[in-house]
Amino acid sequence: MRMTTRYVSMWVLAVVLGLASAEARRETHPLFDLSSSREELVDLAGYGEEKLSTVLITGSVLCLDQAASIQPQPISGARVGLTCSSGGDKTRKSVWEETETDDYGDFTIDLPSHLHGTQNLHKVCQVKVVRVPSQTHCKASSARMQHKGIKLSSARNGVRTYTAGKIKLQQHMKPGSRQPTGSAKTWFANLPIYKWRG
């Protein structure tokens, strides 16, 4: 009888110690706590639907009139593309994202999350003006550089912002003409010339 009681006591002690050990693991490792909510597990693991970081690419597209002394004018509705390459020569992968400029000629591209950890992002990503509205005097191919690099402008509260700066396009000129295509002529341009005889 004493032996049976002794074994029962040892078994109860083992169960108590096991429960205490499990509780200790829950306190030090919340992932062991099955009662934790899904949101808590997602936050702890560092992934899920909620974005833990944001990377933005910004810039502006302007139309430059070299014949006039006016300031460069913003181009609204211009299509801007971002290309990022990663990997070596044999495993190189490219990502292409597009957006349009707003009324002020500004654009913002939200970089895909799988590229947030890319090292030297300013070296592997470039911006290019793909298309401009037909009514503008400038054209996309007149950009001084076909692709423009980006540089880090700010990093705070989990948001990194890179900028491509101001992308200035030249006005499209007709061959042999000093007048930009589509620009208005002055009212006196076609008047006949008379010579004064005194």
Taking only the tens place, the pLDDT of each residue in 1-48 is 555 666 656 666 665 566 555 555 555 444 444 455 555 544 444 334
Measured distance CA(154)–CA(57) in Å, rounded: 11
- Taking a C-beta distance cutoff of 8 angstroms, is the pair 93, 62 a contact? no
pLDDT at 67: 66
**Share above pLDDT 70 across residues of the chain, in percent, rounded to a whole number:** 52
Beta bridge partners of 58: 108, 163
116 SS3 class: coil
Task: Give the model's pLDDT for residue 17.
Answer: 60
Closest C-alpha among 80, 129, 144 to residue 107: 80
Give the Cβ contact number of residue 41 at 10 Å: 14
pTM of the model: 0.59
At 6, is the secondary structure helix, strand, or coil?
Answer: helix
Nearest to 142 by CA among 40, 62, 55, 36: 62
| Degrees, nearest 5: CA angle 149-65-132 | 55
| Greatest extent of the chain over all pairs of C-alpha atoms, in Å | 147
Domains along the chain with CATH numbers:
2-45 (no CATH), 54-170 (2.60.40.10)
* Residues 104-129: tens digit of each pLDDT: 999 999 998 888 888 789 999 999 99
Spatial contact of 162 and 150, defined as CB atoms under 8 Å apart: yes
Return the closest-CA partner of residue 31 out of 45, 52, 13, 17. 45
Query: pLDDT: is 178 or 98 the higher one?
Result: 98
Q: Is residue 68 classed exposed, middle or buried when 0-12, 13-18 and 19+ CB atoms within 10 A define those classes?
A: exposed
